[in-house]
Amino acid sequence: MTSILDRPHLPAEARPLRMAIGTAASATPTLPGTAVRNPLHHVLTDDVADTTSWAPLDDAPAAAPSSPAPTGSARRSDALAAAGGPVARHPLTAHLSDEDIAEIGRELDAIQESVLATRGAKDSAYIRRVIRLQRGLEVGGRVCLLNARNPAAWLAGTTMLTVGKIIENMEIGHNVLHGQWDWMRDPDIHSTTWEWDFVTPSSAWQNTHNDAHHRWTNVSGKDHDLGYNVLRMDPSEPWRPRHLLNPVINGILAPFFEWGIAIYDLELAQVQSGEKPKAALWRDLRSVGVKAARQLAKDTVATPLVAQALTGSGTAAWAGTTTANLLRNIWAHSVIFCGHFPDGVETFSEEMAAGETRGHWYVRQMMGSANISGSPFMHFMTGNLSHQIEHHLFPDLPSNRYAEVAPQVRDVCRRYGLPYTTGPLLTQVGSAWKKVCRLALP
């Protein structure tokens, strides 16, 4: 039998469907709620490549306001303007004319097109190799933990499982869910079928992350990832006494990051404001319950029970799987915060986003993100989110190509006098934590 990872490359000339400039989308969500996806039943519903990433590139035919949005494009409203500029300008772009910014847009479009034109078998082979590696690490780690009373087996098993979980979340899950591999038309490696190793259901995360965060990156009042509704991460947010707990909350959030994101994805603030119906909240709570039960059964029940039955290592195996989850959460938290909150990352008012063209949107993505410098191994372990600027510009390009386009993007920033924020991992982590602490005070 042919493995799903050994299937031949499936060519697809069709480009991913993305919001076209100047078109309107239905306000009716079309993502399948937050249902937990069946890991054994992967079926693509049509023959058109799709993406769940908000990316303003393709000049698709205009759709009537009453027509349904493309699959996976829930709440993709407020299309970008065809010309002109935002109502207000960020001070760091004051030296650029609207035509300068339009030219930046054209140059970045050309960079993206160059990757799309060469995307193919080499890329698909890459992601299949990564999936095989990840599955091998996870299986190997769990096998070692079956004899977790042996210190060497515990260390080897916990290390392998931790690395496997990091790779699944960062380089596979995050990027598959962005639609980076949808063009392969493989139902087992697709943004509409993948369910990742994280407590929050994939479709819930796609709603808050792909659609809302990537559309409104660092726009105060629009991008709720700007502090996740619990941290003060923008100086324009009015200070309240509870913000004194910024460092404490962030210290708790790091090791329990997957649970924090699961709660955040319920959109409790939107429920409180009336934007999200309570019926939708109850639906989402049920889905989170199903997904959490699946995760807990795998890591805190199944592996320890088998270990206990075979070698009496149940408690040690539970400690191993728990440690792997905690370390994966701390790593994911660090990478995400490095990409969004170090010094040099800018925030924007709603007026600075109103009336944006594609070029202005690109500029905001570059100014609202930060990179991490380091080795190829470090880039891989971050899911290539060390190239956060490139990811925010091109969220559905294959992640293995970000290193290729990063020097070109940096050159665009240099030539147009725009910041390109980057630094070593420890520097960026320290800078993000410094902001957490600084904004805890008035």
Q: Write down the pLDDT at residue 43.
A: 67
Dump pLDDT digits (tens) for 196-241.
999 999 999 999 999 899 999 999 999 999 999 999 999 999 999 9
Q: Write down the pLDDT at residue 227.
A: 93
Q: Write down the pLDDT at residue 39.
A: 67
pLDDT of 15 over the 50 cut = no
Q: Write down the pLDDT at residue 52.
A: 58
pLDDT of 175 over the 90 cut = yes
Give the chain's mean pLDDT: 87
| Greater model confidence, 80 or 35 | 80
Q: Considering the chain, what percentage of its residues have pLDDT values greater than 90?
A: 81
Dump pLDDT digits (tens) for 273-326.
999 999 999 999 999 999 999 999 999 999 999 999 999 999 999 999 999 999
Q: Write down the pLDDT at residue 78.
A: 53
pLDDT band at 79; cut points 50, 70, 90? confident
pLDDT of 25 over the 90 cut = no
pLDDT of 54 over the 90 cut = no
Q: Write down the pLDDT at residue 36.
A: 78
HEC sequence for the chain: CCCHHHCCCCCCCCCCCCCCCCCCCCCCCCCCCCCCCCCCCCCCCCCCCCCCCCCCCCCCCCCCCCCCCCCCCCCCCCCCECCCCCCCCCHHHCCCCHHHHHHHHHHHHHHHHHHHHHCCHHHHHHHHHHHHHHHHHHHHHHHHHCCCCCHHHHHHHHHHHHHHHHHHHHHHHHHHHCCCCHHHCCCCCCCCCCCCCCCCCHHHHHHHHHHHHHHCCCECCCCCCCCCCCCCCCCCCCCCHHHHHHHHHHHHHCCCHHHHHHHHCCCHHHHHHCCCCHHHHHHHHHHHHHHHHHHHHHHHHHHHHHHHHHHCCHHHHHHHHHHHHHHHHHHHHHHHHHHHCCCCCCCECHHHHCCCEHHHHHHHHHHCCCEEECCHHHHHHCCCHHHHHHHHHCCCCCHHHHHHHHHHHHHHHHHCCCCCCEEEHHHHHHHHHHHHHHCCCC
Mean pLDDT of the 113-142 span: 97
